[in-house]
Amino acid sequence: MRLTVLGSGDAFSGCGCNSGYVLDSRVLVDCGAPAHVLARRAELTAADLRLVLLTHFHADHTFMLPGVLGHLAFASDARGELIIAGPIGTREYVIRLLNDGYGQRIRDMIERFITLTFVGLQDGSDVTLAGYRVRAHAVVHSLGPSLAYAVSDGGGTTVGFSGDSTLCAGLERVIDQSDLMVCECTALTPPVSGGHMWAGEVEQLMRDHPDTRFLLSHLSERGEVRGALMAHDLLTLDVTPGT
């Protein structure tokens, strides 16, 4: 499975673009980064996109989704079916983003050229979407509902995504299921507010889950965390079991 980091920064620091990750050109996890722009720089093809997963409804994880949907509608080679999945309320939230961002005319165009299917997920969901197994786990953040995901390809390789989270049981479960864990690390030193984690907590997670490799993202500053990979915008990794 190939993972491309589109955005590795937190909401406000400017350390990197806001959250966005792509698996195999087919799955987009969160859309705070301008995915339709950055995907081209990463040599990804918009026409391949089949699934969008949203971890929660904060702006730095979702606000560029109308731009992506508009791009797909205007690009004739990218039109087709697209699943948008996330916490309960995802359909209503995305429609509100489209209406507020661009109005009814652009929404009508998107819905004319793209067959949108919305899927609501919750803690314990275990579904197959666009050929990928998606397991959802509730996590604790300042905005609810919030989900972490373990996404597996047909061969069983699994990449986990924490979204934004504090230390909690749902986060532990998704780490256990993952070969590579894309884990938020908003700060290198405490304190960190708003339902986020800092490096000391992530180091504890790595000690507790030695069989899972960690890629740290949602960064407010650049630095090192011993034993972890640090994400940067447009980083690409090939993930295999035991990575």
pLDDT digits 0-9 by tens, 180-234: 999 999 999 998 888 999 999 999 999 999 999 999 999 999 999 999 999 999 9
Which of 3, 18, 6, 8 shows the shortest CA–CA distance to 231?
8
pLDDT score at 26: 96
The pTM (predicted TM-score) of the whole model is: 0.96
Give the confidence band of 78 by pLDDT, cuts at 50, 70, 90.
Answer: low
Look at residue 25 and tell me whether its pLDDT is greater than 80: yes
Structural domain count, the chain:
1
Report the pLDDT averaged over residues 87-91.
98
Q: Is 243 contained in some domain?
A: no
Check which CATH number belongs to the domain holding 156 and give it.
3.60.15.10
Neighbouring C-beta atoms of residue 228, cutoff 10 Å: 19
Q: Determine, yes or no, domain membership for 57.
A: yes
Query: By C-alpha distance, which of 75, 8, 2, 3 is closest to 36?
Result: 75
Percent of the residues in the chain that have a pLDDT greater than 70, as a whole number: 98
Which of the four pLDDT bands, split at 50, 70 and 90, describes residue 47?
confident
Grade residue 154 by pLDDT with cuts at 50, 70 and 90: very high
Phi first, then psi: give them for residue 74, nearest 5 degrees. -80, -25
Three-class secondary structure of residue 43 per DSSP: coil
Domain that holds residue 48: 2-235
| 204 found inside a domain | yes
Q: Quick one: DSSP state of residue 239?
A: -
d(CA 160, CA 152): 9
Tell me whether residue 198 is in a domain. yes
Distance CA 51, CA 224 (A): 32
